[in-house]
Structure 1
Amino acid sequence: MMHKNPASLPRRTALQLAAALGAASLLGGLAPAFAQDRFPTGAVKIVVPFGPATGPDILGRTIGQKLSEKWGQPLVVENKSGASSMIGTKFVAASAPDGHTLLVTANTLILNKALKPNADYDPINDIVAVAPLAIGRLTLVAHPSLGVKSVQELIAMAKAKPGAIDYASPANGTPHHLAMELFKQGTGVDLTHIPYTSTPAAVKDVLGGQVKLMFLPIHVALPHVQAGKLVMLASGGKQRAETTPDVPSVAEASGVKDFDADIWYGMYAPAGTPPALVNRLNAEVNALLGSPELKAMFERQGLSPLTGTPQDLAKLTRDDLARWNKVVKAAGIKAD
């Protein structure tokens, strides 16, 4: 049966048809918002591209548990480690952009891209920033046998003996390695890199005095400092760390004004996730980060909550990629 042109219908029928079409159009426009209100419609997966008990894993599980309780839906944390976090990141980038698959990761996300420009994922265009989560404080430590108690003393010794002082890292291209390269470039000193295959192996040799220097997460370093086995020279961020307010920052102690080697953590979703859903997730995560319970838990892990908008995390991602690109190129660093 053919439909007549509305213009040829009786006036009352045409008005009824127009009203029906208008209602259908309105309902269509509201459908996404209605679906948004019903999110999540099933289990949500947080992918952590690192192993268990790492910073991103602790964050993902803590935040995931709270979101699951609030939503009344199961939330599963899945560790997809490998290829320096690239396997899990690519999995999320290829997932449906419906908010049911999320990524909790560290700034390794952009360090990988700086080290491997041809990496088959793009941290700017393949995923979308949801919320900054935390800052992990790094600190510069030395073995007591080196005989330095400040950054100024270290710089003076390193300039007097170029290349004679060794420093350790868990591997080429790790945050610990790049932090020291940033320090070298800012201060003009020459230090020799000794890469290991894991953080525990590197820490063991620094504690034994076989290697003299290392950047370490502050919660890892602090017990050894308190036991007199290591000397804490400076914190790695722009400001002093809350945990060690009497210890200067590298920027403060060295005069390298914008020095910042701290590790940051964030939540991302697949590109194409609706902005309204991203904003809702952001608001709910920020509310959790402001709770005294999570703040206390973060402090025990050497983390500081970092709230902000999706735009804040997107800017941090872009800016840090550009910054570390320069460091990697200047040092000629190649990833393992």
Structure 2
Amino acid sequence: MHDAVRADTTRARVRRGVPTFLLALVVTAPLHAAAPVDGYPSRPVRFVVPFTPGTLDVMVRQIGQKLAEKYGQPVIVDSRPGAGTIVGTEIVSKASPDGHTFLVNTTTFVINPSLHAKLPYDPVRDFTPVTQIDAVANILVTSPTSPAQTIKDVIALAKAKPGLLTYASPGSGSAPHIATEMFKSMAGIDMVHVPYRGIPEAAGDVMAGRVSMLMTTTASASPYLRGGRLRGLAVSSRQRVASLPDIQTMGETLPGYEMDAFRGVIGPAGIPPAIVKRVSGDIANIVRNTEIRDILMADGSAPVGSTPEQFTAFLKSEMAKWGKVVKASGAKAD
């Protein structure tokens, strides 16, 4: 009986468009209440985004608008790209722990400790996990005029001309960078990595034919795919993404391949627990119970909205997982 109920619930979520490869994350993150905190916030709240404007910051602004309406204070989205997200991350690590400065981090946050021998911050001691916003697949895209129509085509072209194909990513050490290095390793091919500070520049060069292809998240690629400016070749998830059903998975060509990403919120160490709980609950409510949920799912991601405790455990497991991936892929910081 209980199994039947769970199966019906899962099917219902699939019908609503949640990417099937991420259902477990959505189901196992219960919504938590956000208790009011007297006097908070007392001034504008800043969310640092460690990427160039035009991708992640768009989603953060949508969430920030909802928070501003609730808090009665402005929410500032501060783009601070550089050094594979290290610049923006360091800024938040040194911010006052009063709950008015946060970092919107991605999988790069858990990759960097394995990719760099020394960081200007400790990824565990210097931060307070708040909530995981969502989980999202990576996708390999190319120009609509590219001769590569499938992943098999990419592999064949790369083997025919070793080292001549190039691929862009949103930065050295990003999840798309490491995901492509793992693709190269599993396929036995060689392609040259061209790191960018942001997706708009990278996508522009792929569309112009200056770079062969781009690996990025489905959320970042969706506007280009919908407009027909880029062609999707394959997603990094175990199963196809519900909003992109015609795009195959990498695993359909390379069995066992699975490289997904996440977006979340952390703050500097020492934020009062009551503030952490409130901000976490408020963001969770926004990404799971407002139109932001539909926007996220339309872009191929699954809203999560985890508790601080869940996100802390998740970051720990992701750091261990991606450490193994970096080692297996042979990826190096560019």
TM-score range normalised by the length of the shorter chain: 0.7 to 0.9
**In the superposition, relative to structure 1, how do residues 156 and 247 fare at CA in structure 2: closer, same or farther (>3 Å)?**
same
Q: Distance in 2 between matches of 1:156 and 1:288?
A: 45
**In the superposition, relative to structure 1, how do residues 222 and 312 fare at CA in structure 2: closer, same or farther (>3 Å)?**
same
Where 1:314 maps in the other structure, the secondary structure is helix
Where 2:85 maps in the other structure, the secondary structure is helix
Q: Distance in 2 between matches of 1:204 and 1:63?
A: 27
Q: What root-mean-square deviation, in Å, do the aligned CA atoms of Structure 1 and Structure 2 show?
A: 3.3
Aligned counterpart, 2:311 = 313
What amino acid maps onto 2:259 in structure 1? Answer: D
Aligned counterpart, 2:5 = none
Where 1:125 maps in the other structure, the secondary structure is coil
Q: Distance in 2 between matches of 1:133 and 1:87?
A: 21
Contact kept in structure 1, 2:181 and 2:330, CA below 8 Å: no
**In the superposition, relative to structure 1, how do residues 307 and 109 fare at CA in structure 2: closer, same or farther (>3 Å)?**
same
Q: Residue 40 of structure 1: CA displacement?
A: 0.4
Q: Distance in 1 between matches of 2:88 and 2:220?
A: 25
Contact kept in structure 2, 1:158 and 1:189, CA below 8 Å: no
What amino acid maps onto 1:266 in structure 2? Answer: G
Does residue 246 of structure 1 match 2:256? no
What amino acid maps onto 2:244 in structure 1? Answer: T
Where 1:254 maps in the other structure, the secondary structure is coil
Higher relative contact order (CA 8 A, sep 6+): 2
Aligned counterpart, 2:256 = 256
Q: Residue 132 of structure 1: CA displacement?
A: 0.6
Q: TM-score, normalised by structure 1?
A: 0.74
Aligned counterpart, 1:75 = 75
Q: Residue 300 of structure 1: CA displacement?
A: 6.0
What amino acid maps onto 1:130 in structure 2? Answer: V
Of 245-254 and 203-212, deviating more is: 203-212
Q: Distance in 2 between matches of 1:209 and 1:78?
A: 31
Alignment of 1:173-192 (within 5 A): 173-185=173-185, 187-192=186-191
Where 1:311 maps in the other structure, the secondary structure is helix
Q: Residue 197 of structure 1: CA displacement?
A: 4.2
What amino acid maps onto 2:133 in structure 1? Answer: L
What amino acid maps onto 2:150 in structure 1? Answer: S
**In the superposition, relative to structure 1, how do residues 120 and 297 fare at CA in structure 2: closer, same or farther (>3 Å)?**
same
Contact kept in structure 2, 1:93 and 1:269, CA below 8 Å: yes
- How many residues in Structure 1 have an aligned counterpart in Structure 2? 299
Aligned counterpart, 1:218 = 218
How high is the sequence identity, in percent, across the aligned residues? 33
Does residue 273 of structure 1 match 2:271? yes
Q: Residue 157 of structure 1: CA displacement?
A: 5.8
Q: Residue 102 of structure 1: CA displacement?
A: 2.1
What amino acid maps onto 2:194 in structure 1? Answer: P
Aligned counterpart, 1:193 = 192
Where 1:133 maps in the other structure, the secondary structure is strand
Aligned counterpart, 2:101 = 101
Q: TM-score, normalised by structure 2?
A: 0.74
Contact kept in structure 2, 1:129 and 1:310, CA below 8 Å: yes
Contact kept in structure 2, 1:143 and 1:209, CA below 8 Å: yes
Q: Distance in 2 between matches of 1:157 and 1:75?
A: 47
**In the superposition, relative to structure 1, how do residues 171 and 69 fare at CA in structure 2: closer, same or farther (>3 Å)?**
closer
Contact kept in structure 2, 1:240 and 1:247, CA below 8 Å: yes
Q: Distance in 2 between matches of 1:142 and 1:71?
A: 42
**In the superposition, relative to structure 1, how do residues 132 and 208 fare at CA in structure 2: closer, same or farther (>3 Å)?**
same
Q: Which has the larger helix fraction?
A: 1
Rg: which structure is higher?
1
Where 2:84 maps in the other structure, the secondary structure is helix
Q: Distance in 2 between matches of 1:81 and 1:223?
A: 21
Which segments of 5 or more consecutive residues in structure 1 lack a partner in the other structure?
Answer: 1-34
Does residue 43 of structure 1 match 2:43? yes
What amino acid maps onto 2:59 in structure 1? Answer: L
Alignment of 1:314-329 (within 5 A): 314-329=312-327
Of 173-182 and 198-207, deviating more is: 198-207
Alignment of 1:49-64 (within 5 A): 49-51=49-51, 53-64=53-64
What amino acid maps onto 2:50 in structure 1? Answer: F
**In the superposition, relative to structure 1, how do residues 302 and 125 fare at CA in structure 2: closer, same or farther (>3 Å)?**
same
Q: Distance in 2 between matches of 1:204 and 1:84?
A: 20
What amino acid maps onto 2:213 in structure 1? Answer: L
Q: Distance in 2 between matches of 1:254 and 1:109?
A: 27
Q: Residue 172 of structure 1: CA displacement?
A: 3.5
